[in-house]
Amino acid sequence: MRTLLGLALLLPMLAVAAETGTALKDDSLRAEPYADARLSGKFTRGEKLEITGKQGAWLKVKTAKSTGWVRLLSVKRGSSTAGSSATGVLNVASGRAGTGQVVSTTGVRGLSAEELKAASYNAAEVQLLESYTVTQTQAQQFAVSGKLGAIEFKGLAASKEAE
């Protein structure tokens, strides 16, 4: 019974705890998660941000002055304060010790569940896509007209198709 009561008291605190981040560069906020959406505000490098949502490669953030969407690569998740003494051990374990290089990666997983459910087969689009293919002869003619030439790389075996 006490455990349930303790958990019930912690739930409101979990709802309040949002992820934080720091702006990596000066950037604009968008009203929607699209590059051509209207601007809804700006923030500056180093500014503290509250991350309230994510959609694809976009984060919904809240600044001191406004709220909007920004590209994932403009925000460093977590606080920007110095790491703990365990940071060095973690760097060694991850292979980053001593590199002096900052590494940033972004993973976008493609279509959302709603987009996949709404998708339907479109034979006309598939046919249009297939119409863009070219033969080897057409590709060679294009290369010659653009004054392009083949380059041989030592150590790479030629494919059977090229011979």
CATH classification code of 2-81: 2.30.30.40
Give the model confidence (pLDDT) of 98-145 as tens digits: 555 555 556 556 777 788 788 888 899 999 999 999 999 999 999 999
Instruction: Return the closest-CA partner of residue 70 out of 15, 114, 26.
Output: 26
Give the model confidence (pLDDT) of 14-44 as tens digits: 444 578 999 999 999 999 999 899 999 999 9
Strands in 48-55's sheet, in edge-to-edge order, are 39-43, 27-30, 67-71, 58-62, 48-55, 19-23, 75-77
